[in-house]
Amino acid sequence: MTLTALKPQAQPAHRFPIRVYYEDTDAGGIVYYANYLKFAERARTEMLREAGFHHTAMMQGEGIVLAVRRCAAEYMKPAKLDDMLDVETQVTGLGAATIDLDQSIRRGPDELCRVTVTIACVGRDGRPVRLPAPLRHVLSTDTSDKK
């Protein structure tokens, strides 16, 4: 058996709405590039929360945190003040201690930014640890009927 990342079964993308506020923009009313990463982080956090995995509980209970290991962003079109955006998050792979995700930030049908991210599960000592089995299960199976 090779140590390649497992591909999760197809599941619907998680969607998280975000309104662009004045604080998110530069002087021209355009979303500052780093804020797209904040939008993506919020969407990942809410995806996990809706699946029953709260960051605080994981830290206090299992003594683990999920930290960004790798991130890449591609910017296609600008978001602007007062825009209503949707962040779509899709799990694309699972490693022993990692989660790979694709995230798309959209305004209606237009894709504005695409983020690919690898999240690492780390223990209190900062070293990688295996993803908890319940989290792995939720991320690797179709959860569309579990609401």
Could you tell me if residue 6 is inside a domain?
A: no
Could you tell me if residue 72 is inside a domain?
A: yes
* CATH code of the domain in which 97 resides: 3.10.129.10
Could you tell me if residue 146 is inside a domain?
A: no
Total domain count, the chain: 1
pLDDT score recorded for residue 129: 95
First to last CA, the chain: 34
Supply 47's token pair: 């995806």
Q: Kindly report the pTM of this predicted structure.
A: 0.86
Q: Is the pLDDT of residue 144 over 70?
A: no
What domain range is 58 assigned to?
14-140
Edge-to-edge strand ranges of the sheet holding 84-94: 14-19, 84-94, 98-107, 110-123, 64-75
Could you tell me if residue 46 is inside a domain?
A: yes
pLDDT score recorded for residue 4: 41
Which residue reads 């600008």 in tokens? Answer: 78
Could you tell me if residue 7 is inside a domain?
A: no
Supply 110's token pair: 């237009």
Q: Is the pLDDT of residue 122 over 90?
A: yes
pLDDT tens readout for residues 17-52: 999 999 999 999 999 999 999 999 999 999 999 999
- The Cα 67–Cα 87 span in angstroms is 19
Could you tell me if residue 145 is inside a domain?
A: no
Could you tell me if residue 74 is inside a domain?
A: yes
Please report the beta strands in 1-147, taking only residues with DSSP state E, as ranges in sequence order: 14-19, 64-75, 84-94, 98-107, 110-123
Residues 6+ apart with CB under 8 A from 82: 19, 20
Q: Is the pLDDT of residue 3 over 50?
A: no
pLDDT score recorded for residue 12: 80
pLDDT tens readout for residues 47-103: 999 999 999 999 998 899 999 999 999 999 999 999 999 999 999 999 999 999 999
Could you tell me if residue 3 is inside a domain?
A: no
* Residue 26 is a catalytic residue: yes
Catalytic residue among 26, 82, 110, 142: 26
